[in-house]
Amino acid sequence: MAIRIDRIVFLIIAVALLEGATSETKYKVGDDYGWRIPDNASYYENWVRGKKFEVGDSLEFNWTATHNVFEVTTKTEYDACDKTNGIRKDTSPATFDLTENGTYYYICTIGSHCNLGQKVTIVVGNGNSSSLPNNHAALSAVLSTITIVAASLVHLCSFLLY
């Protein structure tokens, strides 16, 4: 029994659409520079410019010297390099999953590293915390579902007509 070309095309389209609906980006904080005391205090602020962080993405912090990464809970704590409230990871690489829209603050709690610029603010989606998925992911999922249903109906009709 020969495989019909419409079945192959359907499978290719379905796989491609599902991949697009679930795409996520893993950001290596600082890229090749990594997570360390920057030469320029605004290095990480400049690093985030032009990046669009979305729900489903993740941050990977990599370092080689004595560092850690601490997710603080408020901008006030971030600005003050406050090391009391949050989630600390001491082993590199340290990964944080971006599970909802909002603004997230990360610092290094070793010595004065934070005060020297080893800190970064990440804005996910529109920056407002919400349990709703971001617009891009939601639209992609809806379009993928509609396309798969439509392709399935076309495939069913072609099967019934032949």
Residue 19: helix, strand or coil by DSSP? helix
Residue 131 backbone phi and psi in degrees, to 5? -85, -5
Tokens of 54: 């979305």
Q: Which residue has the tokens 């340290």?
A: 94
Q: What is the pLDDT of residues 14-37, one digit of tens each?
A: 555 555 545 588 999 999 999 999
pLDDT digits (tens, 9 = 90+) for 58-98: 999 999 999 999 999 999 999 999 999 999 999 999 999 99
Q: Which residue matches tokens 């090749």?
A: 32
Which of 74, 61, 47, 42 has the alpha carbon at shortest distance from 110?
Answer: 61
- Tell me the pTM: 0.68
The secondary element (H helix, E strand) that includes residue 122 is strand 119-124
CB 68 within 8 A of CB 96: no
Residue 54 has pLDDT above 90, yes or no: yes
The band of 131, judged by pLDDT with boundaries at 50, 70 and 90, is very low
